[in-house]
Amino acid sequence: MTRSDETEYGDKSSEPTNSVFQKLKGRIEGRKARIAVIGLGYVGLPLAVEFARSGFRVTGIDTEKAKIDKISSGISYVRDVPSGELQRQVRAGRLEATDDFSRLLEMDCVSICVPTPLRKTRDPDVSSIVSAARQIAKYLHRGELVVLESTTYPGTTDELILPMLQATGLKVGKDFFLGFSPERVDPGNKRFMTKNIPKVVGGVTPRCSDIAVALYRCSMSSVVPVSSTKVAEMVKLLENTFRSVNIGLVNEIALMCDKMKIDVWEVIEAAASKPFGFMPFYPGPGLGGHCIPIDPFYLSWKAKLSGFEARFIELAGQVNGSMPYHVVNKVGEALNSVRKSINGSKILLLGVAYKADVDDSRESPALDIYQILTGLGAEVSYCDPHIPEIRTDRFNIKAKPLTPDLLEKADCVVITTAHSAFDYRFIASKAKLVFDSRNALKGLKSSKIWRL
């Protein structure tokens, strides 16, 4: 669907606006529009707060009661949202949270920020989107704007959500408006946050696009309109596939350098001195988080349905997925150099978050490394100042405090996440053997330090 087929829907090119459109636009521009954000996680909560900060009354809707209670008490559970800011918005009556979907009846605009994981077969699991869309359809009314923000395959808005909403008898572009705007937030990034990351927006029809652009212009520093929801969906997948493939490439270069006895970190640092045509990516123990290891497979799944094999995505997935095994092999080599085996060794993992200075361990490669090492008979423990406990369907473990005794007693310390809270000189001085998968010990030289 592109703008050229717009007459299939409610928009008529001869009729650029209608009264429903005008009324909603007026409510948005006057900050009178009521906004609902469905899904109050790492993406939804910062977005809800940003809308509230720009003067809207926002209702967050989530199925998790604990999150609703925390928001109502002004306690933030997302690191990028300070509790003080949350409290200000709650006290001013601009932000509230509920699990009652019937409140959608009061809303002018709805943003969907629910999770989009993969199934075990690596197929998209869009069940949360479907369930949210079902609730929206149940309470859909004239003059409402619905925007999907969850990362998903191109076509989700047009092919999955639109039919559910139009089944109510209301017509898109005329009675209600529908668009897609990818969330591009980078948890832990102090420079670029929800407000100042440019917001790409695509509507099902031109009016849908115009009204969604009007909404985001009120709250975001810059808005980038695109011609369709499919383009907007694809933008996000291109961005994350770009990262996955480049990390896959640099991981392969790291494996190559290991065989050729070349320091890959020094190579990247020197290559990054080129002022054009090169962008540094860094190797590591594997991909983690809720985006980069998952999103490209949404794209390859959809491409397969069109008879297209996304080879770069699959290859990067293989290389990146092999990195935890490479780390374990290198830990085995390091232990072997001091006449020890993985089996029976005490191994301490430093950092289980998927990246530095965040409290999110979803898809973290450290969890795979933990499981492979314990499977080989190692006695594995971990320290992470941001993640006191890990509960997965594979295992439940608690963090240990990082003490000199713990470091000295470990047969090998593995740096899996380069948190800035770790004192790396102290770690290097106390540990008997270190395997550094992040170059956190850059500049330190010792025969007991092994690097990726």
Instruction: Return d(Cα 136, Cα 102) in angstroms, integer.
Output: 9
Under the binding rule (CB under 6 A), the answer on residue 73 touching ligand NAD is no
Residue window 266-305: x/- pattern of binding to ligand NAD, with contact defined by CB under 6 A: ------------------------xx--------------
Q: Is 109 helix (H, G, I), strand (E, B) or coil?
A: strand
Q: Which residues contact 200 (CB under 8 A, 6 or more apart)?
A: 181, 182, 184, 224, 226, 232, 235, 236
Given candidates 62, 96, 258, 368, which one binds ligand NAD under the rule CB under 6 A?
62
Under the binding rule (CB under 6 A), the answer on residue 313 touching ligand NAD is no
Nearest distance, CB of residue 112 and ligand NAD, angstroms: 8
Residues 320-349 that bind ligand NAD (CB under 6 A): none
Residues 141-160 that bind ligand NAD (CB under 6 A): 150-151
What per-residue string of b and e applies to 121-141 under the rule 16 or more CB within 10 Å gives b?
eeebbbebbeebbebbbebbe
Q: Which residues contact 367 (CB under 8 A, 6 or more apart)?
A: 352, 361, 390, 392, 394
Residue 27's region, left for phi above 0, alpha for psi from -120 to 50, else beta, is alpha
Q: Where are the alpha helices (DSSP H) in 261-343?
A: 264-271, 295-305, 311-337
Given candidates 42, 177, 281, 282, which one binds ligand NAD under the rule CB under 6 A?
42
Instruction: Return d(Cα 102, Cα 124) in angstroms, integer.
Output: 28
Given candidates 6, 11, 183, 252, which one binds ligand NAD under the rule CB under 6 A?
183
Given candidates 116, 229, 364, 417, which one binds ligand NAD under the rule CB under 6 A?
116
Nearer to ligand NAD, 148 or 380 (CB): 148
Instruction: Return d(Cα 236, Cα 444) in angstroms, integer.
Output: 38
Given candidates 76, 111, 128, 439, which one binds ligand NAD under the rule CB under 6 A?
128
Under the binding rule (CB under 6 A), the answer on residue 67 touching ligand NAD is yes
291 is catalytic: yes
Under the binding rule (CB under 6 A), the answer on residue 131 touching ligand NAD is yes
Per the listing, tokens 């499919």 go with: 230
Q: Which two tokens stand for residue 288?
A: 């983690």
Under the binding rule (CB under 6 A), the answer on residue 59 touching ligand NAD is no
Instruction: Return d(Cα 154, Cα 222) in angstroms, integer.
Output: 23
From 182-190, 271-279, 378-386, 442-450, span contacting ligand NAD (CB under 6 A) = 182-190
Nearer to ligand NAD, 48 or 440 (CB): 48
Q: Which two tokens stand for residue 133?
A: 């869309």
Residues 404-443 that bind ligand NAD (CB under 6 A): none
Nearest distance, CB of residue 50 and ligand NAD, angstroms: 14
- Tell me whether strands 34-38 and 144-148 are parallel, antiparallel or unpaired: unpaired
Marked catalytic residue, from 208, 257, 291, 412 = 291
Nearest to 98 by CA among 135, 52, 60: 60
Nearest distance, CB of residue 193 and ligand NAD, angstroms: 12
| Under 8 Å between Cβ of 339 and 328 | no
| Under 8 Å between Cβ of 36 and 110 | yes
Nearest distance, CB of residue 80 and ligand NAD, angstroms: 10
Which residue has the CB atom at the shortest distance from ligand NAD?
41
From 57-65, 160-168, 213-221, 310-318, span contacting ligand NAD (CB under 6 A) = 57-65
Q: Which residues contact 405 (CB under 8 A, 6 or more apart)?
A: none
Instruction: Return d(Cα 142, Cα 180) in angstroms, integer.
Output: 19
Nearest distance, CB of residue 160 and ligand NAD, angstroms: 14
From 39-47, 216-224, 262-270, 364-372, span contacting ligand NAD (CB under 6 A) = 39-47
Residues 76-115 that bind ligand NAD (CB under 6 A): 113-115
> What are the residue numbers of the active site?
291
Contact residues for ligand NAD, defined by CB under 6 A: 38-44, 61-64, 67, 113-116, 128, 131-132, 150-151, 183-185, 187, 290-291
